[in-house]
Structure 1
Amino acid sequence: MDESSTTSHQGSDKARAPVRLSVATKDNTPFVPGRRVFFKYRDLGVSAATGGRMRAQVMSAISGMTEPTGWHQHLCEAQFIYVLRGWLELEFEDGTRTRSVPGDAILIPGGMKHNEIATSDDVEILEISVPGDMRTKACDPPGH
């Protein structure tokens, strides 16, 4: 086997630590603090395995939302959400408003203003962010 076939999985940036194998199960993935009080967050070990370059977690409703989160943006490159169960309503700065159900996915560019309007009482979402340390910043609604 030539060298290119054995190292291609590591990418071209030799300065970064390699991505490590991580196998997440319900038994070995802890709940961690998160952004919203109505969700519980299960860390899937991706941040540790990638040196923080990305994060994956499952967000499960403790209860449905009682009011919108308010307009905010995430300080990251991208946030990806995939609905596993229930539903989620979002609105975006470009006027898009969506109700996402199981099997639906949304890629939100970093810095894009959005507002979570409502969720079902049983919503469960896979969320991935790049980089792993995604911060949230409240902002004015679009056009203000």
Structure 2
Amino acid sequence: MDGSVAGATRPEIKLTVSNKADQPFVKGRRKFFRYRDLGVQAATGGKLRAQVMEAITGMTEPTGWHTHQCEAQFIYILKGWVELEFEDGTRTRSGQGDAVLIPGGMKHNEIATSDDVEILELSIPGDMATKPCDPPQGQSQG
């Protein structure tokens, strides 16, 4: 196959299949979560990252206000719930089947989770840095 789709060049993205049994959960940026990489970042040359985050325990304290250095972060709640607050004053408790798209650079704070929360998280690009920040005016740190 020549890599073209209807006359256009196919993007440099590789087919990847991630089997749960082959991708163990590992520690990551939050001590109350474990993470399972789905192989998307490697397959897209870093354009997109997909991972599953699963609670080790429910949150014992808020994460504190922070931003992500990315274009966007998308979360889809597979199980349980997560409570978030945002710089614009929005506060939400999202549960199974709910989705949240957070623009890159938007201040937000994870307040609480259920003990059994499981989340599918995507980010564009795949390399997403987390940076602590001051709370928005009128908001407390935690």
TM-score by length of 1: 0.89
For structure 2, the residue ranges without an aligned partner over 5 or more in a row are none
The residue number in structure 2 matching 1:29 is: 23
CA RMSD of aligned residues (A): 1.4
Matched, 1:101 2:102: no
Contact 2:58/2:114 (CA < 8 Å) preserved in 1?
yes
The question of 1:136 aligning with 2:137 is answered: no
SS state at 2:111 partner:
strand
Is 1:79 matched up with 2:73?
Answer: yes
Give the structure with the higher percent strand.
2
Match of 1:48 in 2: 42
- Count matched residues: 135
Per-residue deviation at 1:8?
A: 5.3
1:13-45 alpha-carbon deviations (Å, 9 max, x no partner): xxxxx1000111111223344210000000000
Identity of aligned residues (%): 71
Find the counterpart in structure 2 of residue 39 from structure 1.
33
After superposition, the Cα gap between the structure-2 partners of 1:4 and 1:56, relative to the gap in structure 1 and judged at 3 Å, is closer
Structure 1: gaps of 5 or more residues: 11-17
- Tell me by how many angstroms 1:143 deviates: 1.3
Tell me, yes or no, if the aligned pair for 2:27 and 2:33 is still in contact at 8 Å. Answer: no
| Structure 1 segments of 4+ aligned residues over 2 angstroms from their partners | 6-10, 30-33
Q: For 1:112 and 1:34, how far apart are their aligned partners in 2? A: 21
State yes or no: 1:20 paired with 2:20. no
Q: 1:66 to 1:4 in 2, by over 3 A?
A: closer
Residue 108 of structure 1 deviates from its aligned partner by 0.2
